[in-house]
Structure 1
Amino acid sequence: MTVRVLVADDQEIVRTGLAMILNAHPDIRVIGEAANGHQAVELARRLRPDVCLLDIRMPGVDGIQATRELAGPGVTDPIAVVVITTFDLDEHVYAALRAGARGFLLKEAGSELLGQAVRAAAAGDALIAPAVTARLLRAFARAGQGGVLRQPPDGLTEREEEVLMAVAAGRTNSEIAADLYIGLSTVKSHVASLMAKLKARNRVEIAMWAYETGRR
């Protein structure tokens, strides 16, 4: 299956470069480009890409607001968003993920990691630049903010605890399946169960819950 992507960045040369990198992957196709967040939201709602790749710093409507409008709480039919930026700042990562982003990458990320992030977002997973993952989740835990359930829920099974820890460690569904010697469909079922029990919107919030409750 081809993953259809919309790219938004206020610099044309960056948009062109990202499009070239993504289109070089046989299973990814860029279907639209936007120069700011307002254009990105309009194009995304019209084209319905599988994933939007948004820069944070754009004139007018920035990437955070665009993410909130496309994937935030209350959006009836959200579109997967991956945020990409030059700036490795905790407040940017925090704001992007709170707005509903399924991934966060630095522009220095290579072609392979960029492709992985887009595929993960399209599949409902989340991929955050390895350089910021642990620091980010600890920051979430210290902040203690947001809508993620803080008290341990009833009925978390031993296997769900194992999947919870793996998600918090940044493992993908395929990696979890290999680590735990279970099927991919079983992993997806456990992740869905965790999201329901923890009232989490995505894998990032599952990981946040693990840190906030001292699991990590």
Structure 2
Amino acid sequence: MTKLSVNVNKIATLRNARGGNVPDLLKVATDIEAFGAQGITIHPRPDERHIRYRDARDLKKIVKTEFNIEGNPIPNFMDLVLEVCPTQVTLVPDAIGAITSNAGWDTIAHRNFLKEVIAEFQRNNIRTSIFVDPDAKMVEGAAETGTDRIELYTESYAKGFEKGNREEVNPFVQAAKIAHQLGLGINAGHDLSLANIKYFKEQVPNLLEVSIGHALICESLYYGLENVVKMYLNRLL
């Protein structure tokens, strides 16, 4: 079964909108685990507009499943990850003011930098993953950094699937095959939803984990959080 890691950024966004502690991020994360999700993901950004660095420290104390922290490895982020020691760190090349992730790493141009960062995290027993586009050269470059896994950036698949173009999954299938041959674990995320996750899971081989936040929280407004988590789990069997 492919594991489901739920990104709780949007819960923090809602909380921050009123300045209090409703909804309670820690309770929601605990509930998500109780509903069956196998991981919790957060993506703190420098302006802390949703997840705060304090949230990462607090979540570490209560998350019982896999804890995944995403972000651009700027010094403050690296210090946070090394302090918290999550199960996994996912490196994402976000610009400072980015609304959301919009590209994978150029693993060739940034190979030396990524190698240094990854080695530091691995020395602290933190599993590493690199956010990459479904491009053979970028996957091969990722393997040369020493990373444990890649996370395939799935926005192009989601947009194509919405338009009825199921062939958009093909680059992801090929990228996953190459990654597996090179000994890399395979994660995926960005714009995956109840509508498109089942087909992606069926087509992409050796998929270990998906990280889903925005769509899952939006779908929960209609179906309820517990129902939605279980609906994803059923599609990932």
TM-score by length of 2: 0.36
